[in-house]
Structure 1
Amino acid sequence: MNTSYKVTSVFFLAVFLIVSCSRKKDKFISRNFHAVTAEFNALYNGYNALEQGRNSLNQGYFDDYWNVLPIERMQISDEVILPGQSKNQDFTRAEEKAVKAIQKHSMNIEGKEKNPQMDEAYLLLGKARYFDQRFIPALEAFNYILYKYPASDKINQAKVWREKTNIRLDNNELAITNLKRLLYQEDLEGQDLADATSMLAQAYINTKSVDSAITQLEIAANATKSNDERGRYRFIQGQLYNQLGYKDSANIAFNKVIELNRRTPRIYMISAHLEKVKNFNAETDNKFETLELLSDLEKNRENRPFLDKIYHQIGAFHLQHQSDSIASKYFNKSLQEKSKDKILNARNYQILGDMHFEKSLYKDAGLYYDSTMANLVLNSKPYRVIKRKRDNLDDVIHYEAIAQVNDSILHLVNLTAAEKTAYFEAYIETLKQQAEAEKEALEKQEALQRNSGLITSNNSIRPSGPGGLPGQAAIFYFYNPTTVAFGKNEFVKIWGNRALEDNWRWSNKSGAGGAINTTAGNNALVATTDEARYNPEFYVSQIPSEAKEIDSISKERNYAYYQLGLIYKEKFKEFELAKSKFQNLLQSNPEERLVLPSKYNLYKIYEALGEHDEAEIAKNDIITKYPESRYATILMNPDLLSEKDKNSPESLYESLYEKHGNQAYATVISKAEEYINLYDGDAIVPKFELLKATALGRLNGYEAYKKAINYIAVTYANTPEGLHAQDIESNVLPKIENKAFVDETNNLSGHYKVIFKFENSTPQTVQTFQKTLNEVLKNIKYYKLTSSIDVYNSNTTFVVVHGLKNGQVAKTFNQLLTKEDAKKIKQPYIAMASANYQIIQIHKNLNTYLSVYNN
Structure 2
Amino acid sequence: MKLALKSIIIAGVITIAFQSCSRKKDNFVSRNYHALNTKYNTLFNGYQALEKGRDELNNSYEDNYWELLPIERMQISEDIFLPSESKNENFSRAEEKAVKAIQKHGMNINGKEKNPQIDEAYLLLGKARYFDQRFIPALEAFNYILYKYPTSDKINQAKIWREKTNIRLENDEVAIENLKRLLEQEELEQQNLADATSMLAQAYINTKSLDSALTQIKVAAKNTKKDFEKGRFNIIKGQLYNKLNYKDSANMAFDKVIKLNRKIPRKYLMAAHIEKAKNFDYKNGDKLAFSELLTDLEEDRENRPFLDKIFFQKAQYFQNTNNDSLAIVYYNKSLRKGSRDKQLTANTYTILGDYYFDNSEYKTAGAYFDSTMTNLRTNSKPFRVMKRKRENLDDVILYEGIATTNDSILRLVNMSEAERLSYFTKYTDSLKQEMALLAEKKEIKSRNKGLNQDKNTTPFVKNRSNPGAASTFYFYNPTTVAYGKQEFEQIYGDRKNNDNWRWSSLKSNGFKSNNIANNAIVSNDSLETLQPDYYISKIPKDAVVIDSLVTDRNYAYYQLGLIYKEKFKEYKLSKTKFENLLDNNPEEKLILPSKYNLYKINELLNEGSQMAFYKEDIIKNYPDSRYAKILLNPDAANITDTESPEYLYAQTFKLLDEQKFEEVIEKSDQYSANFSDEPIQPKFELLKATAIGRLDGYAAYKQALDNVALEFANSPEGIQAKTRSNQLVQLNDTTFVNNEASKNYKAIYVFNASELNQIDDFTKRLTEAIEKANYRELTVSKDLYDRNTWFVVVHGFKNIQNPKGLTDLFGQLKSTKPFKIKRQPIAVSSENYQKIQIYKSLNSYLNLK
1:592-631 correspondence to structure 2 within 5 Å: 592-631=588-627
Give the drift of 1:731. Answer: 1.5
SS of match in other structure, 1:643: helix
Q: 1:672 is matched with which residue: 659, 668, 671?
A: 668
SS of match in other structure, 2:640: coil
Cα 1:750–1:85 change in 2 (3 A) is: closer
Cα 1:417–1:76 change in 2 (3 A) is: same
Could you tell me the percent identity over the aligned residues?
Answer: 55
C-alpha distance in structure 1 between counterparts of 2:64 and 2:834, whole Å: 57
Please state if 1:280 is matched with 2:285: no
Give the drift of 1:146. Answer: 2.8
Paired position in structure 1 for 2:132: 132
Paired position in structure 2 for 1:188: 188
C-alpha distance in structure 1 between counterparts of 2:278 and 2:737, whole Å: 72
Q: 1:712 is matched with which residue: 695, 708, 730?
A: 708
Bigger drift between 227-236 and 204-213 goes to 204-213
In the TM superposition, what whole-angstrom CA distance separates every residue of 1:417-462 from its partner, at most 9, and x where no partner exists? 4544554455556667777899979x99xx9xxx9xxxxxxxxxxx
Unpaired runs of 5+ residues, structure 1, are: 452-527, 819-823
RMSD: 4.1
Give the drift of 1:320. Answer: 2.1
- Contact 1:356–1:365, Cα closer than 8 Å, also in 2: yes
Bigger drift between 655-664 and 410-419 goes to 655-664
Paired position in structure 2 for 1:555: 551
Cα 1:30–1:408 change in 2 (3 A) is: same
C-alpha distance in structure 2 between counterparts of 1:209 and 1:651, whole Å: 43
Paired position in structure 1 for 2:756: 767
Give the drift of 1:355. Answer: 1.5
C-alpha distance in structure 1 between counterparts of 2:415 and 2:373, whole Å: 44
- Contact 2:800–2:827, Cα closer than 8 Å, also in 1: no
Bigger drift between 409-418 and 370-379 goes to 409-418
Give the drift of 1:621. Answer: 1.0
- Contact 1:776–1:817, Cα closer than 8 Å, also in 2: no
Please state if 1:653 is matched with 2:642: no
C-alpha distance in structure 1 between counterparts of 2:46 and 2:322, whole Å: 58
Give the drift of 1:591. Answer: 0.8
Cα 1:809–1:111 change in 2 (3 A) is: closer
C-alpha distance in structure 2 between counterparts of 1:379 and 1:239, whole Å: 27
C-alpha distance in structure 2 between counterparts of 1:572 and 1:529, whole Å: 47
- Contact 2:702–2:728, Cα closer than 8 Å, also in 1: no
- Contact 1:346–1:373, Cα closer than 8 Å, also in 2: yes
Please state if 1:691 is matched with 2:698: no
Relative to the length of structure 1, the TM-score reads 0.79
Paired position in structure 1 for 2:494: none
Paired position in structure 1 for 2:479: none
- Contact 1:565–1:581, Cα closer than 8 Å, also in 2: yes
Amino acid at match of 1:589: N
Amino acid at match of 1:251: N
C-alpha distance in structure 1 between counterparts of 2:309 and 2:189, whole Å: 37
Bigger drift between 659-668 and 265-274 goes to 659-668
SS of match in other structure, 1:628: coil
Give the drift of 1:89. Answer: 0.7
Bigger drift between 604-613 and 538-547 goes to 538-547
- Contact 1:754–1:813, Cα closer than 8 Å, also in 2: no
Amino acid at match of 1:609: L
- Contact 2:554–2:584, Cα closer than 8 Å, also in 1: yes
- Contact 2:166–2:172, Cα closer than 8 Å, also in 1: yes
Q: 1:635 is matched with which residue: 631, 637, 659?
A: 631
Cα 1:529–1:719 change in 2 (3 A) is: farther
Paired position in structure 1 for 2:50: 50
Give the drift of 1:257. Answer: 1.2
In the TM superposition, what whole-angstrom CA distance separates every residue of 1:313-355 from its partner, at most 9, and x where no partner exists? 1112222222222222212211111111111111111111222
1:678-827 correspondence to structure 2 within 5 Å: 678-698=674-694, 702-733=698-729, 735-736=731-732, 738=734, 753=748, 755=750, 757=752, 766-770=755-759, 790=784, 792-793=786-787, 796-797=788-789
Give the drift of 1:648. Answer: 1.4
C-alpha distance in structure 2 between counterparts of 1:756 and 1:391, whole Å: 47
SS of match in other structure, 1:384: helix
1:25-104 correspondence to structure 2 within 5 Å: 25-104=25-104
1:314-393 correspondence to structure 2 within 5 Å: 314-393=314-393
In the TM superposition, what whole-angstrom CA distance separates every residue of 1:31-53 from its partner, at most 9, and x where no partner exists? 22212222222111111101110
C-alpha distance in structure 1 between counterparts of 2:538 and 2:839, whole Å: 44
Give the drift of 1:593. Answer: 0.8
- Contact 1:770–1:787, Cα closer than 8 Å, also in 2: no
Amino acid at match of 2:592: L
Give the drift of 1:284. Answer: 4.0
1:448-467 correspondence to structure 2 within 5 Å: none
Paired position in structure 2 for 1:122: 122
Give the drift of 1:306. Answer: 0.9
Bigger drift between 430-439 and 332-341 goes to 430-439
Give the drift of 1:378. Answer: 2.0
C-alpha distance in structure 1 between counterparts of 2:199 and 2:83, whole Å: 29
Bigger drift between 61-70 and 191-200 goes to 191-200
C-alpha distance in structure 2 between counterparts of 1:438 and 1:102, whole Å: 85
C-alpha distance in structure 1 between counterparts of 2:84 and 2:119, whole Å: 24
Give the drift of 1:643. Answer: 0.7
Amino acid at match of 1:552: S
Relative to the length of structure 2, the TM-score reads 0.79
1:490-569 correspondence to structure 2 within 5 Å: 530=526, 534=530, 536-569=532-565
In the TM superposition, what whole-angstrom CA distance separates every residue of 1:37-88 from its partner, at most 9, and x where no partner exists? 2222211111110111011011011111112222222222233333122111
Please state if 1:144 is matched with 2:133: no
- Contact 2:145–2:158, Cα closer than 8 Å, also in 1: yes
Give the drift of 1:773. Answer: 6.0
Cα 1:65–1:424 change in 2 (3 A) is: same
Give the drift of 1:165. Answer: 2.3
Amino acid at match of 2:633: N
Paired position in structure 2 for 1:509: none
C-alpha distance in structure 2 between counterparts of 1:611 and 1:565, whole Å: 17
Paired position in structure 1 for 2:394: 394
Unpaired runs of 5+ residues, structure 2, are: 454-523, 813-819
Bigger drift between 255-264 and 662-671 goes to 662-671
Cα 1:112–1:809 change in 2 (3 A) is: closer
Cα 1:774–1:294 change in 2 (3 A) is: closer
Cα 1:124–1:628 change in 2 (3 A) is: same
Cα 1:10–1:392 change in 2 (3 A) is: same
In the TM superposition, what whole-angstrom CA distance separates every residue of 1:657-684 from its partner, at most 9, and x where no partner exists? 3444555555444443332222111111
In the TM superposition, what whole-angstrom CA distance separates every residue of 1:227-281 from its partner, at most 9, and x where no partner exists? 1122222222222222222222222221111111111111222121222222222
Cα 1:52–1:684 change in 2 (3 A) is: same
Q: 1:591 is matched with which residue: 571, 587, 610?
A: 587
Paired position in structure 2 for 1:301: 301
- Contact 1:106–1:118, Cα closer than 8 Å, also in 2: yes
Cα 1:549–1:125 change in 2 (3 A) is: same
Give the drift of 1:609. Answer: 1.0
C-alpha distance in structure 1 between counterparts of 2:320 and 2:411, whole Å: 39
- Contact 1:807–1:831, Cα closer than 8 Å, also in 2: no
Paired position in structure 1 for 2:219: 219
Amino acid at match of 1:232: R
Amino acid at match of 2:351: I
Give the drift of 1:596. Answer: 0.7
Give the drift of 1:652. Answer: 2.3
In the TM superposition, what whole-angstrom CA distance separates every residue of 1:466-508 from its partner, at most 9, and x where no partner exists? xxxxxxxxxxxxxxxxxxxxxxxxxxxxxxxxxxxxxxxxxxx
Bigger drift between 284-293 and 355-364 goes to 355-364
